[in-house]
Structure 1
Amino acid sequence: MKKQSNRPQILVVNDDGVTAPGIKNLIDAVKELGDVVVVAPDGPQSGMGHAITIGKPLRFDRVNLYEGVEMYKCSGTPVDCVKLAVNKIFKGKKPDLCVSGINHGLNNSINVIYSGTMSAAVEGAIEGIPSIGFSLDDFTESADFSHCLKFVTKISAEVLEHGLPQATLLNVNFPNGADLKGIKICRQANAKWAEEFDERKDPHGRPYYWLTGVFQNNDKGEDTDVWALEHGYVSVVPVQFDLTAHHAIPLLNSWDFNA
């Protein structure tokens, strides 16, 4: 890693791969705020969740895709990218900010659990780094991120200035289209994908399956990320990685486990 300046050190990661348009736009949005170091998968890793590589060696190599940006491609998952960056590139001196994305496709509601983009940000938070995941409601390679950039810069600047509560990160989603009404601080909607599997036959007559489904929103609240996105707002949800269901502890304590 190059000698650090007095500017904030910003780690940029994603799950769509080191050459994805979303990561270039994320770099453009935050490079004015500090010195950027990019560590991203060498190919698409969408839907990997918080997977890590334990059964084979990891590799990362320096690449020169964008002028003035220290950038590496990694053979592992998005979470691997964060772990390698902290341990081998920053050498234990934590960056001031970790930003992940900009993802091609939303990571609202339940999608947080499956998302490689958000898992990279979660790993940053686990490492004690203020972290943000950014996603856009457009899966296409030609997605237009231009309307997101000022919001990415502003949100990142606010986090750099104020920090985040311990063990908390931000999940930021953008609706598609340039006419954004502003930012809404939201809760995660009670919504999920109702999956189906499309069964087909290969040339040998053996079945194989494509995952399909429809998005079902069971939450009519007007304080959710789904509502905000449907009404033209950027949704910002504070996320924690403590999965304890604290409200269930009194109930379980009322059961007689030790009888």
Structure 2
Amino acid sequence: MRILLTNDDGIMAEGIYMLAKELEKEYDVTIVAPESQKSAQSHAITLHQPLIIKEVKLDGLKSKAYSISGTPADCVRAGIEAIVEDKIDLVFSGINLGLNSGMDIIYSGTVSAAVEANIYNIPSIAVSAEWMQGTANYKIAAKYAIKVLKQTQSQLLKSNIVLNLNTPYNLNDVNKELKICTIGGAILDYYFIEEQENGERTLTIRGRRETELEEGTDRYCLSKGYATLTPLRYDLNNLALMDTIKEWFK
């Protein structure tokens, strides 16, 4: 199986290295990732300047690796269109430093890279690990990523879907139940407002507001120490309102 591996933390990030190390034991892996940190880029692509592709040697890995002067979505497009000559069977995105649960997935470059693969009719898995004390438990996230791949491979490769995998920091047992669940609710940030001498104001994100966790969602299950897996769909049509809107224009 031929896998394209990307992320939004950059080509030199520890998370992508850990996932590549596990995947290349059994699969043909090509790494295509941003040359620098591109978190929270969502589904942005580069339009007004050329993308620069550089082959990079990652010590300890046998997989070919390339850096892209663009976004995570750019990396998937470049990998498919210009770098990997043969058919790509699956795209992995991650391991992200920090969870991509709840409505954070809207802003996530990690998840958006997986969605970009879906646009090309390639199944994908986004992998994220909880950030704590400046680091993440990439080891358990990589193990769960392999577990998900092996348990879903026969069906996954027949389907054009996105799977979003998250693992909590304190989880160490790959045999613990994996919770298949829905996306949690909104996650709101605190903004610190500061007045400047020139009359301008600056807004800085400093922490997150406490919100009630809905039972059965990814955020709830993660808080209970479980890894979570959520199938995502990016059809933006609100079909339930289609007939209603038509009536408004009669």
TM-score by length of 2: 0.90
Maintained 8 Å contact 1:147/1:177 = no
- 2:27 corresponds in structure 1 to 34
Structure 2 counterparts to residues 101-140 of structure 1, below 5 A: 101-138=94-131
Secondary structure of the structure 2 residue equivalent to 1:12: strand
- 1:257 corresponds in structure 2 to 249
| Equivalent-residue separation in structure 1 for 2:133 and 2:63 (angstroms) | 25
| Equivalent-residue separation in structure 2 for 1:210 and 1:69 (angstroms) | 39
TM-score by length of 1: 0.87
| Matching residue within 153, 157, 162 for 2:155 | 162
| Equivalent-residue separation in structure 2 for 1:28 and 1:115 (angstroms) | 23
| Equivalent-residue separation in structure 1 for 2:2 and 2:78 (angstroms) | 16
| Equivalent-residue separation in structure 1 for 2:3 and 2:43 (angstroms) | 21
Task: Give the letter aligned to residue 85 of structure 1.
Answer: G
Following TM superposition, the consecutive aligned residue runs of length 4 or more in structure 1 with deviations greater than 6 angstroms are none
Q: Give the total of aligned pairs.
A: 247
| Equivalent-residue separation in structure 2 for 1:192 and 1:245 (angstroms) | 19
Secondary structure of the structure 2 residue equivalent to 1:173: strand
Greater CA deviation, 110-119 or 212-221?
212-221
Secondary structure of the structure 2 residue equivalent to 1:235: strand
Structure 2 counterparts to residues 194-209 of structure 1, below 5 A: 194-201=188-195, 206-209=200-203
Query: Are 2:35 and 1:11 equivalent residues in the alignment?
Result: no
Deviations 1:23-62 (A, max 9, x none): 0111122112311100000000000000000011110100
| Equivalent-residue separation in structure 2 for 1:159 and 1:87 (angstroms) | 26
Maintained 8 Å contact 2:132/2:169 = no
Query: Are 2:53 and 1:44 equivalent residues in the alignment?
Result: no
- 2:68 corresponds in structure 1 to 74
Shift of 1:178: 3.2
1:9–1:203: structure 2 CA closer, same or farther, 3 Å change rule? Answer: farther
| Equivalent-residue separation in structure 2 for 1:206 and 1:257 (angstroms) | 44
Shift of 1:209: 1.9
Maintained 8 Å contact 2:34/2:71 = yes
Greater CA deviation, 153-162 or 12-21?
153-162
Greater CA deviation, 25-34 or 141-150?
141-150
Unaligned runs of 5+ in 2: none
Over aligned residues, Cα RMSD in angstroms?
A: 2.1
